[in-house]
Structures are given as structure tokens and as C-alpha cells.
Amino acid sequence: MLRKMSLIIALVFVWTQAAAADKQLAGISDSIVKEAQALQKAAHAKGHSKRHADEEALRALQELTVLLQRYRHTLERHKLERHEKGPDIIQLGVTSRVKDGESILYFDSPMRKKRLRNIQITHISGDDYIRIRDITIVPQVGPSFRYNAGGGKFYLGDTYEIELDKPMHIREVRVRVQHKTGGLEIFGTTVPEPPKLPAIIELGKTNGVKDGNAVLNMDKRYRKVLFSKLIVKNMGGDDYVRLVNPQVTTSRGDLIFPQVSYQKLHSGGAHEIVLPRPVSIRSFQVYAQHRTNGLLITGVR
């Protein structure tokens, strides 16, 4: 019976080895072979030398059961990851081999340009399990950050994730481990780069008014953008309006009173207001003489 079981295990391994497309699955496969051989030796001892080998056989069977389950779960997880991992999750590399020491990944130039918000560390080869004591993140600028991983067992395929204190550009990841690792696979979640805004942005339309203040409160998306000019376009109403006492409130709460000429602004016409310096804007208001259906405000960066 044991000999038949070991043959089945060996056949399963031959099939699964063909699917081992990465180091993590290959590492588990190596362990399956090791335990299958132990089971085979136990079967041989019981069948030929009449030596009682039940304990060795049971231990090998238990280990094989765990390893095969882990192999199956790893395959399933990888299948899901291929479908679920978004474009912001990238492979950063594999750390160095080490036994009872620091396993290190030095980032190359392209990876140092990525701004990361978390790090994922996976035990993919080496001993059946390792203990991760602590992880040191070395950023491009500033002091290093050390995270205590607790020292628990991490079996082949297990992953440990770190939420960084703040998004950062990273130079090195250093993982202090107990036991032997053939390399830890490191993934990172990148922070999306802010969209590149055009030089000229339509900011919105003020309220309509007759002989009163026309006001535009800036959309929050644009409150950190620096503008050097505002273009005010009359969207209709009386034949013309005059703009009086324009007022800009910056994102910091400062008030700016730019100068304007009191010329007529006909329907569909536009007037440019030059700011004394580039500023981020919270709101804009101007007193409109006569009636306007609203003033369209455009910012120039």
C-alpha cells in the first residue's frame, strides 16, 4: 500500500513539475520530491527488510499532504493573481540567498523611480519555512524605516505585507531571516502619478447677477495648481458688463486684489486678469455692473 502511495505521489509530482513556472512552485516541488523519497524508503523498509517504518511513513504522508495542498493553493492563487493584480502592482525583484542573515534586494534605476505605498514579501525557495525577524526599507532620501515582522514561520508561498509609513522611492529592501532562503520575491504597489494638467484649464462658471458679486469657488482638484492669469468671459445677459474690484482668495486664505481696466465686457467677450505672482486659488469673485448670466473663468498656469 505504501509503495503504491509513493508511486502515486511521484506521478503527481511529475505532472505538477511541468507546471512549475516560477521559483516558488519549484521550491515546493523540491520538497514534494524529498518527502516522496522518504515515503518510498519507508515502504521499502517495511516490505523488504521487515523493519517497522510506520512512524516514518506516517510523517512523510502528513508532510506530503500539506505540501500538495500548498502547491494546489499556490497554483490557484497565482491564477487569481494573474487576473486580479492591477497595473499598480509590480514585481520589484528577488532578494539574495542567505542562511540566518540579511536577504537583500538592491533596486535598479527604473525601480528607484517608482513611488511605492506598500511592499509584499513572499518566501519562494529554500527551506520549507523561514522566520522573518525584521524588514528594513532604505529610501532614496532620508532615514531608513524598520518593521518588526514578529518572527513567525513563513512557509513556501507565504507572503508578508508592509504598509509603508508614507509613499516613497526605495533604494533597498533588507529582510533578516532565520533558516535558509534561496531568495524572497518582492512586489510593490505603486502610487499613481498625478495626471498631467494642461496649461489652460476651464475652472467653471460664476453665478449670474445684476450689479453684484459674481463668485466661483474652485473645484478641489485645482486648489493646489498655481495660476498666473485668469481669463474672464461674459456668458450673456445685458449688452455688456463692467468688472469692478476682482478678488482672489488663495488656498492659504490670503487675499489678492489684481488691477483691471473698467472697460466694457460685451456678451461673448473675454478679459485677461494678470496675477501679481503664480498662486493656488480657493475662490474668485468680481463685482459685475449690469446683468450677466455668468462669467466663465479659465486659468492659465
Question: Which CATH number covers residue 128?
Answer: 2.60.120.260
Task: Looking at the structure, tell me whether residues 71 and 133 fall in a common domain.
Answer: no
Spatial distance between the Cα atoms of 223 and 214, rounded to a whole number of angstroms: 19
Q: What is the pTM of this model?
A: 0.47
Looking at 84, 107, 140, the residue that finishes a domain is 84
DSSP-derived pairing of the beta strands 209-217 and 115-123: unpaired
Give yes or no: residues 215 and 279 share one domain.
yes
Residues 75 and 93 in one domain: no
Report the pLDDT averaged over residues 119-144. Answer: 92
Hey, what's the cell of 227? 495660476
pLDDT tens-digit map of 203-249: 999 999 999 999 999 988 888 899 999 999 999 998 999 999 999 99
| Domain termination site, one of 190, 225, 247 | 190
Higher per-residue pLDDT: 128 or 88: 128
Residue 184 included in any domain: yes
Query: Containing domain of residue 285, as a range?
Result: 200-300
Cell of 230: 485668469
- The answer to whether residues 252 and 279 touch, using CB atoms and an 8 Å cutoff, is no
Contact 132, 121 (CB under 8 A): yes
For residues 79 and 93, state if they share a domain. no
State how far the alpha carbon of 75 is from the alpha carbons of 173, 222, 262, in Å.
Answer: 26, 46, 73
The DSSP 8-state label assigned to residue 221 in this structure reads G
Domain boundary among 50, 84, 118: 84
Mean predicted confidence (pLDDT) in 176-195: 88
Query: How many domains, in total, are found in the chain?
Result: 3
Q: pLDDT of 15-70, one tens digit each? A: 444 344 466 667 777 777 787 777 777 777 665 555 556 777 788 778 877 777 77
CA distance 183 to 125: 6
For residue 209, the domain's CATH number is 2.60.120.1380
Residues 53 and 96 in one domain: no
Q: Specify whether 127 is located in the same domain as 205.
A: no
The helix/strand/coil state of 72 is helix
Residue 42 domain-assigned? yes
- Provide the pLDDT for residue 23: 61
- Asked, for residue 104, whether it belongs to a domain, the answer is yes
Averaged pLDDT for residues 88-92? 87
